[in-house]
């Protein structure tokens, strides 16, 4: 049996779990690069029986999976992976397994980005390295309003930190109730009110047909002049051209994004040169604890599959 582990950017997949029992009966090949071309992917992956996918890094649409005749099992890290055509694989009798995830990693990065924007950390570090001194003025968080678009599992953790900073927290969700919001120290409000009232808006919704383009030109125009936007959810939730325009015009005081429409971000992408933007390469879930859960449970799924035991099927 041949197993392909895809998109191991840091080259750590085999060190984050004990693969020894799997390697005793199967060949495990790790790919650190990312291939976006369908034909190149089909050629590379055709000989493999098992694919281990990292979240949404490499999509597995029907057009690709149907060209993989040896495929017997797909393992994806995380609870869900919208970039896999699960139904197409089920029709072929190929199971798709998932893993748990660490719920604290993305909220922690969210606050790193909020603080980085509010206190101009990147430009201040650059100033010190280049011999300049105090060229910016930061913004306090205490007494300001934090707006959370998507007050769910992740958003609630972000909300609790906001209250610890002394912020007023407004939250929105399609099925959010006042009671659920209050559990995390927030007040439930309509989306437009959250956008109009918040000094900082942070997004934590699952990408779906309903949330794709949820924050576009109209929504950005509702936000306060000089306010900040943070997106650690999914890139397509925010309309990229509208975000670029809002930053270039100065309407937004800044934005921080960890997720993009296309990943890895193309070299000529406009977000690489947009002013007042703090960008990170989708590292919200990239932590040692997170990777140990991902790869550890991926190995468990493969071992269970090999011995015919129950597996965690999506």
Q: Is the pLDDT of residue 269 over 90?
A: yes
Q: Do the domain assignments include residue 264?
A: yes
Number of domains in the chain: 2
What does the mean pLDDT of the chain come to?
96
**Count of beta carbons in the 10 Å neighbourhood of residue 167:** 24
**pLDDT tens-digit map of 155-172:** 999 999 999 999 999 999
Task: Classify residue 314: in a domain, yes or no.
Answer: no
Task: Examine the domain organization and report whether 98 and 109 are in the same domain.
Answer: no
The predicted structure's pLDDT at residue 58: 95
What backbone torsions phi and psi does residue 235 show, to the nearest 5 degrees?
-55, -50
The answer to the question of residue 199 being in a domain is yes
* The residue to which tokens 């972000």 are assigned: 158
**Domain range enclosing 265:** 105-279
Contact 113, 256 (CB under 8 A): yes
Among candidate residues 66, 263, 269, 312, the one labeled active-site is 263
251 and 113 in one domain?
Answer: yes
Q: pLDDT digit string (tens) for 52-68?
A: 999 889 999 999 999 99
Q: Is 263 a known active-site residue?
A: yes
pLDDT score for 314: 78
Does the annotation mark 282 as catalytic?
yes
Distances in whole angstroms, Cα of residue 290 to Cα of each of 101, 174, 198, 296, 298: 6, 28, 31, 10, 12
**CATH for 194:** 3.40.50.720
pLDDT recorded at residue 276: 96
Whole-angstrom distance, CA of residue 124 vs CA of residue 135: 7
With cut-offs at 50, 70 and 90, classify the pLDDT of residue 309: confident
Pairing of strands 200-203, 2-5: unpaired
> Residues 82-118: pLDDT tens digits?
899 999 999 999 999 999 999 999 999 999 999 999 9
Predicted pLDDT at 52: 98
Instruction: Check whether residue 151 and residue 63 sit in a common domain.
Output: no
Q: Cis (ω within 30 of 0) for the bond into 10?
A: no
Q: Residue 228 gets which letter from DSSP?
A: E
Say which DSSP state 265 is in.
Answer: P
For 77, the token pair is: 């890290």
Q: Is 234 one of the annotated active-site residues of the chain?
A: yes
Sign of CA dihedral 115, 119, 120, 125: negative
Mean pLDDT for the stretch of residues 32-41:
96
* Residue 258 CB-half CA count within 13 A: 23
> Order of strands across the sheet with 96-97?
27-30, 2-5, 50-53, 73-76, 96-97
- Residues 208, 241 within the same domain: yes
pLDDT tens per residue, range 9-32: 999 999 999 999 999 999 999 999
Beta strands in the chain (DSSP E): 2-5, 27-30, 50-53, 73-76, 96-97, 145-149, 168-172, 187-188, 200-203, 228-231, 254-257, 277-279
Residues 94 and 230 placed together within one structural domain of the fold: no
């Amino acid at each position: 049996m041949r197993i392909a582990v895809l998109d191991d950017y840091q080259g750590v997949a085999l060190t984050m779990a004990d693969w020894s029992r799997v390697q005793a009966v199967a060949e495990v090949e790790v790919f650190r690069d990312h291939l976006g071309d369908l034909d190149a992917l089909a050629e590379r992956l055709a000989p493999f029986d098992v694919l281990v996918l990292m979240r949404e890094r490499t999509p597995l649409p029907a057009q690709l999976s149907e060209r993989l005749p040896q495929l017997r099992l797909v393992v994806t890290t995380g609870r869900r992976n919208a970039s896999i055509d699960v139904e197409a694989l089920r029709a072929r009798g190929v199971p798709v397994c998932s893993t748990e995830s660490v719920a604290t990693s993305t909220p922690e990065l969210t606050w790193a980005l909020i603080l980085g924007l509010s206190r101009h950390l990147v430009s201040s570090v650059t100033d010190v390295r280049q011999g300049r001194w105090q060229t910016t003025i930061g913004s306090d968080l205490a007494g300001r309003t934090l707006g959370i678009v998507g007050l769910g599992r992740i958003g609630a953790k972000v909300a609790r930190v906001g209250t610890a900073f002394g912020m007023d927290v407004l939250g929105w969700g399609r099925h959010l109730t006042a009671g659920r919001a209050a559990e995390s120290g927030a007040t439930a409000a309509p989306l437009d009110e959250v956008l109009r009232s918040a000094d900082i808006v942070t997004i934590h919704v699952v990408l779906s047909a309903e949330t794709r383009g949820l924050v576009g030109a109209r929504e950005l125009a509702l936000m306060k002049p000089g306010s900040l936007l943070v997106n650690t959810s999914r890139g397509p939730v925010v309309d990229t051209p509208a975000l670029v325009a809002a930053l270039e015009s100065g309407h937004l005081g800044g934005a921080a994004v960890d997720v993009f429409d296309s990943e890895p971000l193309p070299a000529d992408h406009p977000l690489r040169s947009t002013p007042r933007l703090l960008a990170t390469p989708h590292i919200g879930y990239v932590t040692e604890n997170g990777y140990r859960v991902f790869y550890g449970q991926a190995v468990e799924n493969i071992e269970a599959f090999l011995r015919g035991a129950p597996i965690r099927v999506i």
